[in-house]
Structure 1
Amino acid sequence: MEITYDGAKVYVATGSKAFNPELPSITFVHGAGMDHSVWTLFARHFARNGFNSLALDLAGHGRSGGACKPTIGEWAQWVDGVLGTLGVEKTAIVGHSMGSLVALETAARHPARITKAVLVGFGYPMAVGQPLLDAAKANHHDAVDMMIIWGHDYYAQFGASGVPAMSTINVWKRVLERAGPGVIFDDLNACHTYTGGEEAAGLVQCPVTIVSGDRDRMTPVKGAKDFLRHLPKAKLEVLAECGHGLMEERPEGLHKALVAALG
């Protein structure tokens, strides 16, 4: 599905199902340099089981036009604006990595619209190493390589995959290589400079679930555990033998966590 928001095309994957305002909705937000395709397995499940499934291509990503936003707060406003344009009055929101920060901030700023939040691969603060920022700013392929290496458990480095006949490493590589100039840097820098996590947590009114990989080296599970003091009612699910690429590394575990959190 394509709509126009803020003068630019926005692509929303719906699992091949038409939007039905009578059904509950789930909005999926991808991470840095990614697009809607990382949510395909999960979005299709919910689209076929009584939900509107809305996997967004953020502005400047995938099939969406427009420019990247420089801050997490501006991304949250963009997501809310897109949902309003779609006519989505209420929705659960699921975000991965940068998308988890966007989901948290959206839930904080727009409590009347967001009914549940699932933060996948979440960490706060989400600091990014200077070598990665430098490579991304230079649009150097080293940035993609570093994200692949640090983004996956060592099993995935040797070809292990949670999806038969799919290369976890090459999925990330191909998606990240499609990102336009400056996109990966803008996204990583938005994560690196975000300082509103504690304030956002205090404003969130909906149920929150955090899903982490026990071997995540980009957003280590310790950061999620520490953040629970700001979200005392939140639930934490930890997937075993899993890095930052939860959707590809442990799809069944993530699927179970999403079903438990969202219905």
Structure 2
Amino acid sequence: MSWPGFRSWFGDASGTAARLRASIAVCGLVLATAGLIAGGANPANSALPPKPEQSYYMAVEAPGQGTVHLYAEEFGKGRPILLLHGLGASMFTWRNLIPELSRNNRVIAIDLKGFGKSEKPFTQAYTPYDHANVVLAFIRKRGLKHATIIGHSFGGAIGLLATLRLNETDPEAVRDLVLMNAPAYEQPGTAFVGFMKTPVVPYVALMLSPPEFSTWLSLDKVQADRLSFEELRGYAEPFYDAAARHALITTARRIKPRDVERLTARYPSVKQPTLVIWCENDRTVPLDTGLKLVKELPRARMKVLSDCGHVPQDERPEAVLQLIGKFLKN
């Protein structure tokens, strides 16, 4: 079975029985995983992340979480740009954007709590509010002012939530926003998130299957031929750690905010200029989500990219850079 074929089958799964059937497929395909992924690889893609000018761990205090150590890398000088990756990813996802963005800006990439090289506590504190409070604490401790927040998928939702909170206490912290394929409203639920909510099985499946396979599932609907095996391995590296697998599963299980209606009702209060970038063919967070969001953010504009699934920074990096560059200039 090809990767696209398996993805189609897995993506159509619904209900507990279907998720269990999917988990059996995960375990059953363990031995074939590396060869199947490699078969869809595009060797023309580079997987090398840029070298930072400085890298560090920062200890931040977040409500109900104590001290959390976040890993960060910085590039270039100028106005600050904070990069927030999506669920199941790390700052590795920004490797194609950082060199150009850092020419005239100070780019700060962080690994969210529980992901990449950041601390991965074995707790249940992985709700959107928990993640946003950690990001908010980082922004304050780093002393960022007039920053641009660029967030992809879950990172976009976290960036928007952090901005809502900062606008109440530090209105000069965030200058503008770039939100890419961000699940800003309650979603019907992807097969991946549904699978993660299955009791016990996700821990067993992720432990037995190669991290490259687990990463492929979390990236979900990214167009397979846009990622080489080396790039997939770059995404997968953190998931050799049991703590990272716990963070992924717990975040997915707790991904719905407890007061989603009250939260989304506050979107019109966001006065920052906002660029909303969406992939036309996104089946993970459908285009309708972006169309709704751009209507509720008073200073938002939207650009839709064709030939693109859910990860525009991997699938259409040149187009994304062009859109962001024009937005920042204006």
Normalising by the smaller structure, the TM-score range is: 0.7 to 0.9
1:147 shift after superposition: 3.2
Say yes or no: does 1:234 pair with 2:300: yes
Highest CA radius of gyration, 1 or 2? Answer: 2
Separation of aligned partners in 2, 1:42 and 1:130:
27
The 5-angstrom pairing of residues 30-179 of structure 1 reads: 30-49=85-104, 51-67=105-121, 69-111=125-167, 112=171, 113-127=173-187, 129=189, 131-137=191-197, 138-139=202-203, 140-141=205-206, 144-148=215-219, 150-152=220-222, 156-157=223-224, 159-160=225-226, 166-167=228-229, 170=232, 174=236, 177-178=239-240
The answer for unaligned runs of 5 or more in structure 2 is 1-54, 62-66, 207-212
The 5-angstrom pairing of residues 5-24 of structure 1 reads: 5-6=60-61, 7-15=67-75, 17=76, 23-24=78-79
Structure 2 contact 89–116 (Cα < 8 Å) conserved: yes
Structure-2 residue corresponding to 1:28: 83
Identical positions, percent: 19
Q: Indicate the SS of the match to 2:256.
A: helix
Cα distance 1:261–1:178, how it changes in 2: closer, same or farther (>3 A)? farther
Structure 1 contact 98–187 (Cα < 8 Å) conserved: no
Q: Indicate the SS of the match to 1:10.
A: strand
Separation of aligned partners in 1, 2:238 and 2:187:
19
Structure 2 contact 216–232 (Cα < 8 Å) conserved: no
* Superposition TM-score, scaled by structure 2 size: 0.67
The CA deviation string for residues 155-205 of structure 1, in whole angstroms up to 9 with x for no partner, is x33x246xxxx4597257625745612222233234334615523312212
Q: Indicate the SS of the match to 2:253.
A: helix
Structure-1 residue corresponding to 2:252: 188
- Larger mean Cα displacement after TM superposition, 174-183 or 58-67: 174-183
Count of matched residue positions in the alignment of Structure 1 and Structure 2:
248
* Superposition TM-score, scaled by structure 1 size: 0.83
Structure 1 contact 133–188 (Cα < 8 Å) conserved: yes
